[in-house]
Every structure is written in structure tokens, then in C-alpha cells.
Amino acid sequence: MEQANRAQPVGVQGRTDLRGYDLVTIDGDDARDFDDAVWATADDDPANPGGHRLLVAIADVAWYVRPRDALDRDAQERGNSVYFPDRVVPMLPEALSNDLCSLRPEVERACMAVDMRIDRRGKIVRHRFLRGLMRSRARLTYEQVQAAADGRTDPTTAPLLDTVIRPLYAAYAVLAAARRRRGTIELDLPERRVFLDEAGIPVEIRKRVRLASHMLIEEL
């Protein structure tokens, strides 16, 4: 806890500046931390007609948790975060898991990212990994993103529809088609969400609806 509380936000020095890209997080409406962000656009390289450029970023946890330090040893004992219907027991202290290692909107966060170019058939033609500094443009939910793609925007998604959401779906369509051509296995396993009352008693178990927005994130 002491080590986590001493941690400070990082600057751009020594990192690739990704703050100019409209990276967004897309998670369930009950998500408590945001550890991955995505962005896509049509590739402007004339040598790659019909292709796309993709950025996928994850929180740079390794910047704060170094091998064999106190945080690393405690994380090994815990093994993983544990998610319950109404709470999460994080593997790392909340100063990291819910703050410095959570890609919250409109704050600068350290990240690891991969910058990819895919061709019109979904083949990766080049890529590079980088340590960056990003600023998420929005915290979006799967339902929000799917509704916007289907023509039902809200005040958050309307400004992002043409610049962020539609390019993401365009890239996903190419990747999904490539997956089908490869004949890969798709496991569409039902997931349930448990709802509790104020006393913490389960009152309903509801099947989560699987949307294209879920598959978009899975594919990226």
C-alpha cells in the first residue's frame, strides 16, 4: 500500500505521445477499471488501399510494478483480481488498479500500445509496439457503442460516431471476414449477470446479450 500510494503519474519523456489520437475504452456498464483502449482509421498509405490503421493500448502496469518489489510479491500471492456481482477484490492496490493504471477519460495515462496496419483482407502488413502516453477521449459501454452504430447516438457518442465508432466497426468487419476465411473456432459462450438488492441478496440472474461491439473489442 505504501509503495502504491507513492506512485506518480508519468510524463511524456521517453514515451510515444498518443494524446492526439481519439482512443476510447469500451466496457460493460458495471466495469470498475478500464485497462484497454482502441482507435482505428482508414489507412492513408496509397500502397495499402482499403486498409486500416489500428491502435490498441493497455495500461502500463509494468511501469509501476517492478520484478520482485513489494507490489510484485503481493500480486503473486493474490494471483489475480476477483470479481463478484457487486464488487471487485483487486490484485493491486486501488491507487493503481482504479487510478494510475485505469485508462480514465480525459486524464493522461501511461500505456503499452501496438500500432498496426492491416490490408483490405485483414492481414497485418506491419506493426510496432511502443510505450506511450495517452488520454482516453471517452469511457463507453458496449450498449452505447452498439446503439450509436445502429443509428441511436447520445450526447457522448454523437461527436465520436464518424471519427471513432464507424472506423472501428469498419476495421472489425475486415478482421471478422478474415477470421471466417481462416475457419477459426468461435466460442459464443453465454454469460450471466447477477443482480443484488440493497442487502446483497441475489434477486435476478440475467443473460448478457452478446453484441457486435463485444466482438469488436475481442477481435482488436
pTM of the model: 0.91
Do 165 and 149 contact (CB within 8 A), yes or no? Answer: yes
Exposed e or buried b for every residue in 11-50, given b needs 16+ CB within 10 A?
Answer: eeeebeebeebbbbbbbeeebebbbbbbbbbebeeeebee
> Residues 203, 205, 206, 208: what is their CA dihedral angle, to the nearest 10 degrees?
130
Q: How many CB atoms neighbour CB 186 within 10 A?
A: 9
Cell 477470421, located at residue: 179
Provide the grid cell at 35: 485497462
> Based on the number of CB atoms within 10 Å of its own CB, is 6 exposed (0-12), middle (13-18) or buried (19 or more)?
exposed
Query: What pLDDT, in 10s, does the model give residues 166-211?
Result: 999 999 999 999 999 999 888 878 889 899 999 999 999 999 888 9
Query: What pLDDT, in 10s, does the model give residues 6-63?
Result: 999 999 999 999 999 999 999 988 887 899 999 999 999 999 999 999 999 999 999 9
Helix (H, G, I), strand (E, B) or coil at 41: strand
